[in-house]
Structure 1
Amino acid sequence: MKKLMKRAGLSLLLLLLVALVSLRTFGFEPQDRRPGLWLVGDLVTEAVSDWTFTDQVGEIFVQTNTRYGIPHSITTYCVEYNGNFYLFSAYYTGGVFPDTRGWNRNVMRDPRVRLKIGGRLYDHTLSHVTDASTTEPVIRRFESKYPEWESPGNENVHIFLVQ
């Protein structure tokens, strides 16, 4: 019986290891509101000086770092404004920032992220923007880029600057 339990345990451990290696290799990207894990694509190592190419992109993926070491990735909106690149997090049903969104909690704890735009990956850091002189025009830019978007009110919209 002990031998059977040991084999079962080792088999389960091996299965878990194969699953994690497969996910790491092939990724498990988010889809709409369902979060994902690792993002895969071609890593861009040179600095991005012009983010206007994202004007043609509707949604991007953001991979954050969790406390337990397995990435958490989500789908979000983005805009370029005055040469800077911004990401968007809306709390449609209210809630307290950053606690209501896992990816917001992760970014506030560890601002290093991986962005996937098209098939390309970009490693950057995010900073939460709270200054109204920046957030208000950026939100207006979001409204212009995404005319179908219904705002939950500026107090429930959080903006992150990609650095």
Structure 2
Amino acid sequence: MIKPVLKGIAVLLIMTIGTLLGFYLNRSDPWGRIPGKRLPGEEVTESIEDWSFTQQARGVTLEVRPSAPYSINASCLFHDGAFYSLATSIENRWVQFLLQDPDIRFRVGGKLYKGRATVVEDPELINDLFETLSQKYRGGVDRTPEQKARYRFIRIDSR
């Protein structure tokens, strides 16, 4: 009696693991904190002059490392006519990839664009960006100076 039940549980477990592995290996978009691969969709070919369309975006999906695409979901903000993303640490894998190759693709509002990423180094601009971030996301953005030191803003320019 117990053996058939255990055999059924084992089969169900193997099928579940196989299904999850299949989804993981065939993913394109990131899923929560799990990174994705190459983002599907048609790219907008025109260069972006007016970034104001990004003001309403709650987040951005970034694809780094064109040679072996790696995509993630990130917070984003529009500030002084420019578009930025936020990395919780310079040590994040995707940040390391974009430091090696700043050419990226990104999706905002269902459209896919080509861009170039630059880590923001200017302390005054970083303070302004934290202020804009706290206004956009209302709460949860009050961080200690030590926490702020870990974060990195990434400026995204059209290419």
Calculate the TM-score normalised by the size of structure 1. 0.73
C-alpha spacing 1:104/1:151, structure 2 compared with 1 (3 Å)? farther
Q: How many residues align?
A: 131
Aligned to 1:51: 51
> Runs of 4+ in structure 1 displaced over 3 angstroms?
148-152
Deviations 1:113-160 (A, max 9, x none): 000112211101111111112111011111111114345532021011
- Is the 8 Å Cα contact of residues 78 and 88 (structure 1) preserved in structure 2? yes
1:144 counterpart = 2:135: yes
Q: CA deviation at 1:58?
A: 0.6
Distance in 2 (alpha carbons) for counterparts of 1:75 and 1:114 = 12
- Is the 8 Å Cα contact of residues 41 and 116 (structure 1) preserved in structure 2? no
Deviations 1:23-55 (A, max 9, x none): 5xxx61012211100101221111112212112
CA RMSD of aligned residues (A): 2.0
Q: Secondary structure at the match of 2:28?
A: coil
Aligned to 2:76: 78
* Percent identical: 25
Distance in 2 (alpha carbons) for counterparts of 1:150 and 1:31 = 23
Q: Secondary structure at the match of 2:117?
A: strand
- Is the 8 Å Cα contact of residues 62 and 116 (structure 1) preserved in structure 2? yes
Give the AA of the match of 2:131: R
Distance in 1 (alpha carbons) for counterparts of 2:130 and 2:141 = 12
Give the AA of the match of 1:83: G
Give the AA of the match of 1:77: S
- Which has more radius of gyration? 2
- Is the 8 Å Cα contact of residues 42 and 119 (structure 1) preserved in structure 2? no
Structure 1: stretches of 5+ with no match in the other structure: 1-18, 92-96
Distance in 2 (alpha carbons) for counterparts of 1:53 and 1:131 = 25
Q: CA deviation at 1:79?
A: 0.8
